[in-house]
Amino acid sequence: MKYIASNTTMHTPKVFGWNLDSDNPVGLEYMILGKISGVSANSVWDTLPLELKQVMVSEIADFIVQLFRLRFDTAGSLYTDDVGKQVVGPIIATPFYRALDGWVRLDSSTYRELASLRGPFTTVTEYLRSFLEAEIFLVREYRQRILEHELHGDEERLELGRTVLGKAVELCSLYPGEICVSEPLTSPHSPFSIRLDDFRLSNIMIDEETGHVTGIIDFEGATVAPLWECAYLPRWLQDYDEWDGSHEGGSAEDKQLLRDLFMRKIQELDPDGEWIRALEQGRPFREFTNLLSFNVGVWTNQEKWVRERLEWAKTHPGIAFPSEIDKALS
């Protein structure tokens, strides 16, 4: 939050205090934040006049381009070192959370064993593999617990999931690889930027009288990630038929209008078209990263998806598997 506030015009909450030790007087982790003025966009979206929505969308496009221009040589999460400088260190993201949305999967000692897989990462392939290798480790070391508590004792499903995870690891090297960090997309010396993983309307604070953005909240899962993962349309602007669309955002007609405005603003702010190239070239790769945080039970349903892309990558090196949109256009 400090880094973003110092390097962009985006307002983030001020942190007054925090503690990660469970033996503190409170008895659990905590963070005390300053209140950002305004209301969440989600709470007034249905009644907010279109012209005010347009104000907000234009400002969000500006923030996204500003974030995209922040470049890093390694991927992971941001930390403050001993001299007060922000540096990239081990990633804090699924599947490395001990608990996600209140669900504790395994005890805390388990996640200390995953420390070597958390980076920071110098290549896109390392970044992608880490998520899968963490799940493979958990399935191997805690097989019986996962089998009983997550797969209802279905041995066949567990083995299929492990097989698919192994093929997905292979896909990390053959399929996404480094394609989207080479020219003309961007300099190979700056392949990573900042990604906000929870960019919902409910996390955007606005002035309901003017539509201006007063701040952004919820940076829990913000990470330094590949450029093509950082150039994306907010889900509340996506069409409902898109794989990463959302129920947020209103009618399809309103979404289309605001999406067009968003893209025009992006083109104005990024005349070289780097962000748009990352958006377009990265579409199939973002579909892949959307799966990376899933548990083994979900991977059992992705066997065909992974197999098709693995076969494609072996005969089309460096070329992304065509998306459904690409197929329709051809």
**Phi, psi angles (nearest 5°) of residue 319:** -115, 125
The three-point CA angle 283-288-291 to 5° equals 135
92 domain-assigned: yes
187 domain-assigned: yes
Instruction: Note down the domain range covering 309.
Output: 2-320
265 domain-assigned: yes
Read off the pLDDT of residues 138-155 as tens digits, 9 standing for 90 and up: 999 889 989 998 899 999
Full-model pTM: 0.87
Number of domains in the chain: 1
Check residue 323 and give its pLDDT. Answer: 65
330 domain-assigned: no
Check residue 325 and give its pLDDT. Answer: 47
Residues of the chain with pLDDT below 50 are 177-189, 325, 328-330
Check residue 327 and give its pLDDT. Answer: 52
Check residue 99 and give its pLDDT. Answer: 63
297 domain-assigned: yes
Q: How many CB atoms lie within 10 A of CB 4?
A: 22
Check residue 318 and give its pLDDT. Answer: 63
Rounded to whole angstroms, how far apart are CA atoms 226 and 128? 10
Read off the pLDDT of residues 102-143 as tens digits, 9 standing for 90 and up: 667 777 677 778 889 999 999 888 999 999 999 999 999 889
28 domain-assigned: yes
Check residue 181 and give its pLDDT. Answer: 42
Q: Which residues pair with 265 in a beta bridge?
A: none
325 domain-assigned: no
Residue pair 204/213 in contact (Cβ under 8 Å)? The answer is yes
